Amino acid sequence: MDAINAFPSSSSPEAGPSTSAPTPPTPVLARDPLLRYVPPYWHAFSTMAKGRWWNREILELISTEFRDRSLEYYRLALAAGVTTINGKQARPGDIVRNGDRIQNVVHWHEPPVTGRVQVVSGEKELAKQLIVVMKPGSVPVHAAGRYYKNSLIEILKSDFGLDRIYSITVNRLDRLTSGLMLVATTLQRANELCKQFAENRVKKEYLARVAGEFPEEETTISEPLLTIDRQMGLVVVHPSGKPSITVFQRLSYVAISHTSVCQPKTGRTHQIRVHLQYLGYTITNDPIYRADNVWGREGGKGGIALTPTEERTPSVMPEEAARALNLKLEEARRRVDGLGGDGVLGTGDGVPLADTLPATPAPEEVRSDAESPVVDDTATPPATLLPRETGADIGLSSPVPLSSQAIQIIKSLRDQKDMLHPHCVQTASGRSVDARYT
């Protein structure tokens, strides 16, 4: 986690004096004592093909279903041989069938998380097959996305020796939400507690700091909520959604920061965050529902447009990002296993790896959505674009047709996520191939 540049320097002390400019030292991130780091490790992500995956090409499937990595990352992973189907190296056009096992072996670099997990219960609670945990913000409850060893369940196992922790947690919290959680140490106890919560026999309280001066009187909102994008976990107010009621009570208002602390009474997934956004008082540091460049001038207040549309537009990489990605991929092509003395990358079967990877457009070749490509009738027909390149993957996981505003919100959030996340492949000899473009 320390190094933010995975590529070794091209110069060495033994190389002797050089007239070229000295290579700058590799930048290193200082470890923050308030963060929990996990040393990089080898990990095999393995899964059986789900029904909706059958008869789809592997590159289209993984780039559409798993949005935590860029399309360039998946192309490079297939070319480097770290993605397999039933133990055999997968090629971009391989078709996934019923019963297939898909595996991706990577040298995993988990992001650090803030704070530290605390077990605040004692022997009395443990005797009742229950522990009470203080979960800090940024720690996910279960392994998901970029997190495995930095998930709450794995931290309880590794740091506290609580091996008999069942993944069925009684009251789950969003990754960015901090607070107390009940975790059962037996399956029977977990089922009992889940039943108590379902029957409203347990009282839960939340606190939220929101932007603006929240009304002093008690505020109730009962707008239904619907998840319209599974990959981003995006929830909006929609008439086809699940019934949801949230009651807010303002506790304080700080004029200097123009923020309020309010107390919601209930909450399902993202319910508090979305209902606060609907009221016009988003949580102050919410990275999804308070992104001004995503939700527009109104910030999602009053909901979004619902009129369906079939129009889709592909994501266009900003010029600076395209330039950085181009440099990273060119470096990756030279570093992947198979680099011979003649400078040709091999894939293991005599095919130059550079021929198997798509050409990365130069910044000046990246067009905006409004520009139309010049058609050359004599040119070779272009390769079929993937759904992620055309925008056709937006809405695939939505239970309802999406409006143009909803599509643009999903597109913006996905682009924002793609720009922030590192994309690293580890080859068989241990070299790190970094295709990130931030």
- Tell me, letter by letter, the H, E, C secondary structure of 342-381: CCCCECCCCCEHHHHCCCCCCHHHCCCCCCCCCCCCCCCC
Judged by DSSP in three states, 252 sits in: strand
Q: Answer yes or no: are the C-beta atoms of 412 and 398 closer than 8 Å.
A: no
Neighbours of 171 (CB within 10 A): 16
φ/ψ of 53, rounded to 5, equals -90, -15
Q: Which two tokens stand for residue 277?
A: 């956004």
The residue written with tokens 């994309």 in the block is 423
Cα separation of 226 and 241, whole Å?
4
208-295 folds as Pseudouridine synthase (3.30.2350)
Cα separation of 16 and 206, whole Å?
63
> Cα torsion at 256, 246, 417, 117 (round to 10°)?
80
pLDDT tens across the length of the chain (438 residues): 333 323 233 333 344 444 555 555 544 456 788 899 999 999 888 999 999 999 999 999 998 888 777 788 899 999 999 999 999 999 999 999 999 999 998 888 899 998 889 999 888 888 888 899 999 999 999 888 889 999 999 999 999 988 877 756 677 888 888 999 998 888 888 889 888 888 878 888 888 899 999 999 999 999 999 999 987 889 999 999 999 889 888 989 998 878 888 777 656 678 999 999 999 999 998 989 998 789 988 899 999 999 998 876 665 555 555 555 555 555 555 544 433 333 333 333 333 333 433 443 343 443 444 444 444 545 555 567 888 888 888 888 899 999 999 999 998 888 877 666 544 444 333 333 333 322
- Tell me, letter by letter, the H, E, C secondary structure of 298-340: CCCCCCCCCCECCCCCCCCCCHHHHHHHHHHHHHHHHHCCCCC
Catalytic residues: 174
Sequence spans of domains, the chain: 25-108, 114-198, 208-295
CATH number of the 114-198 domain: 3.30.2350.10
Query: In angstroms, how far is CA 219 from the centroid of its own chain?
Result: 33
CATH number of the 25-108 domain: 3.10.290.10
Neighbours of 329 (CB within 10 A): 22
Q: Answer yes or no: are the C-beta atoms of 260 and 248 closer than 8 Å.
A: no
Do 25-108 and 208-295 share a fold?
no
**Which one-letter DSSP state was computed for residue 390?**
H
